[in-house]
Amino acid sequence: MKLADLRVVRADIPVRRPHKMSFTTLETVNFVFVRLETSDGHVGWGESACLGGPTWSEESAESVVATIERYIAPWLIGRDPTAIEALRIEMARRVQGNPFARAAVEMALWDIAGRALGVPVYRLLGGRVRDRVPLSWSLAVADPRAEIEEAHARIARGHRIFKIKTGAGALADDVERVRRLREAWAPRSRSGWTPIKAGTGRPRSGPSGRSSPTPSTSWSSRCRAGTSRVSP
Confirm whether 2 is a catalytic residue: no
Share the mean pLDDT of the chain: 81
pLDDT 10s digits, 43-80:
999 999 998 888 878 999 999 999 999 999 999 999 99
Per-residue burial over 7-34, b if 16 or more Cβ lie within 10 Å, else e, is ebeeeeeeeeeebbbeeeebeebbbbeb
pLDDT winner (highest mean) among 17-26, 84-93, 169-178, 191-200:
84-93
Give the phi and the psi of residue 8 in degrees, each rounded to 5: -120, 130
Q: How confident is the model at residue 18 (pLDDT cuts 50, 70, 90)?
A: confident
Q: How confident is the model at residue 206, as a pLDDT?
A: 44
- Per the model's pLDDT, the better-predicted residue between 196 and 60 turns out to be 60
DSSP 103: H
The pLDDT tens digits for 128-182 are 999 988 888 888 887 888 888 888 888 888 888 888 888 877 888 888 888 888 8
Distances (CA, A) of 12 to 50, 101, 153, 170: 10, 16, 26, 30
- Report residue 198's pLDDT band, with 50, 70 and 90 as the boundaries: low
Catalytic residue among 20, 163, 165, 197: 165
Q: pTM, whole model, 2 decimals?
A: 0.75
pLDDT of residue 218: 41
In this model, does residue 188 exceed pLDDT 80?
Answer: no
Percent of the chain whose predicted confidence (pLDDT) is above 90: 47
Residue 8 to residues 3, 5, 24, 49, 215, Cα–Cα distance (Å): 14, 10, 26, 13, 49
The half-sphere exposure of 111 on its side-chain side, counting CA atoms within 13 A, is: 19
The helix/strand/coil state of 190 is coil
Domains of the chain: 3-124 (3.30.390.10), 136-229 (3.20.20.120)
Whether 189 shows a pLDDT value over 60: the answer reads: no
